[in-house]
Amino acid sequence: MPTRRTLLISGASTIITALLSPRAMAAQRRLKPLKPGSRIRAVNPGTWMDPDTDLQALRERCDQQQWHLEIPAAVTRQWRYFSGTDQERVEDLRSAWNDPTVDAVLTLGGGWGAARVLEAGFRFPRHPKWSLGFSDTSSLLLAQWAAGLPGAIHGSSGGTEAQWQRTVDLLCGRPVAPLLGEPRRRGIARGPLVVTNLTVATHLIGTPWLPSLKGAILVLEDVGEAPYRVDRMLTQWRSAGLLQQLAGVACGRFSWAEDDILPGDFTMDEILEERLGDLGIPLVLNLPLGHGRPNQALPLGAQAQLDGKHGLLSLMA
């Protein structure tokens, strides 16, 4: 029979564990909204960019907010199909994250390479920053939230003015409108958001950079993957037991080549519903985010509500 001392120690350990969990630590680290004079550092942890890429529109958008955007020459560096060696890209991220005068880190480019930066030794410091990116950058956004750091926003600096304004509002701490998708399974789910590219996150399974999904609302998107490949990846998630403790699940845009589907095959919506529709939780498809337009921004770790009856995903105050 457990003694009073044992129970006290056990209870204290439970409390300490809860206080030290990534979500508890994140809740204690409030990020200051961006304001006029805030500094943003651009990085490129993935595939190399054309040196002639026109970034003037991005500069103008930041100027309108009176944000100081820094675009180092390193973002157009090239080594093989990366924007520099793994170690060079690690140092770029370390420099941005460890600079106390930098308020936000904005990812340019994409392709492939961010997970290699994590493998090569990049670790997030204990202080949070805003960060913005999607696609390949999902690995860094997920790792940031797994480290207990708020501020990771799944979104793009491109797109329409309305899309950009939503991103600005999130960075400035202002409320944003709910996103509307297609309802597939009824119910109301509440929990922290985990938003990611499916392929990128699938390749983080078994690493410390995939955050806990217990009680979370998972939002997935992907591009260039046929339904049978999405089926394969979701089967891996199911087999690994990663979907069974979710509060809710939603999908953004999934796009693929038309000739990837033959007569009699599952359509994309059919395979998403077949693989995600039997979890006993709300399911919404075709939210306006992911590759293509619009790509509406969502913050990882933010408390949200998913309404499976009406197809609405809302951020909670």
Just list the catalytic residues: 135, 221, 291
Here the tokens at position 8 are 């006290």
Positive/negative CA dihedral, 109, 202, 268, 247: negative
Measured distance CA(211)–CA(172) in Å, rounded: 25
| Residues shown for the chain | 317
For 150-211, the DSSP string reads --EEE--S-S-HHHHHHHHHHHTT---PPEE-EEEE--EEEEEEEEEEHHHHHTTTTSTTSP
The one-letter amino acid at 216 = A
Q: Is the peptide bond before 294 cis (omega within 30 degrees of 0)?
A: yes
**b/e 200-225 (16+ beta carbons within 10 angstroms → b):** bbbebeeeebbbebeebbbbbbbeeb
